[in-house]
Amino acid sequence: MELLTNLLSKDFIDLSPLDSQDTEDHVTAADVCLYGLNIIMPLMSEELLKFPSLCLQYFKFITFLCEIFPEKVTGLQPDLQQSLVNSLQLGLTSLGVDPVFSLCCDFIQVLGCYMVRNNVRDTPIFEQLRCFLKLFLDLILSHQINSDLIPNSSATLYVLICLYKDTYQELVQILVQTQEESNRQRLMEAFTGLTANTPFTADRINRIRFRETFDKFIVNVRGFLFVK
């Protein structure tokens, strides 16, 4: 994986002019890395990902790949996309390492922003990422995320809301109904204020604004919120 990551770096910073010869069959570093990913993914079991150095290098590699070539990630085979999503779920919930959690957030943010801006819907990973919306809501609202990771987590939540606005509204309604009746109106008003006047464009400036609004939201609701 270090070799593949280094190949990506070379492809990213190589500023040399294109060769004058026909490049129709030219194999890029990205092509090699995607081929390597097909070999690596079946090996990335939960047991292997418990090795800290291997785990960190794996998530660095897939995040870097997504940052440079998000369009290639959305074009992967469905089973490979599902394997990526499964490993992200492990990174967010089971591995317990802050750098890995942050890398998972970065992966979802980068891919989500690309999908929002380019209106990417016709790929299996669009549906496969939907589960992270509920996961982030649950993790953030139930105090299961280190406070230092809240800014990155809330920005990831914002991108997921941009992707799945209808699903977000459904989850909010479900969450409100789980509260005591005396708290339901208060919680609904808090959620309404969270996204009021918020453009769902996934632009960086709006991610930053959402973080600021989310900080106020968290302070407001954590005193009375009950999350199952």
Task: Break the chain into its structural domains and give their ranges.
Answer: 1-9+28-129, 132-228
- On whether the CB atoms of residues 159 and 108 are closer than 8 A, the answer is yes
pTM here is 0.87
What is the mean predicted confidence (pLDDT) over 161-174? 95
* Ranges 60-69, 89-98, 125-134, 172-181, most confident: 125-134
What mean pLDDT comes out for the span 38-58? 85
Looking at residue 27, its pLDDT comes to 65
pLDDT of residue 154: 92
Statement: residue 143 has pLDDT above 80: no
Give the angle 149-171-223 at the CA atoms, nearest 5°: 55
Torsion of CA 160, 33, 123, 135, to 10 degrees: -30
* Euclidean distance between CA atoms 191 and 184, whole angstroms: 11
- Enter the tokens of residue 72: 């290639």
DSSP state of 44: -
pLDDT of the residue at 15: 41
Beta carbons within 8 Å of 142's beta carbon, 6+ residues apart: 227
pLDDT of residue 141: 83
Kindly report, residue by residue over 111-123, the tens digit of the pLDDT.
Answer: 999 999 999 998 9
pLDDT mean across residues, the chain: 85
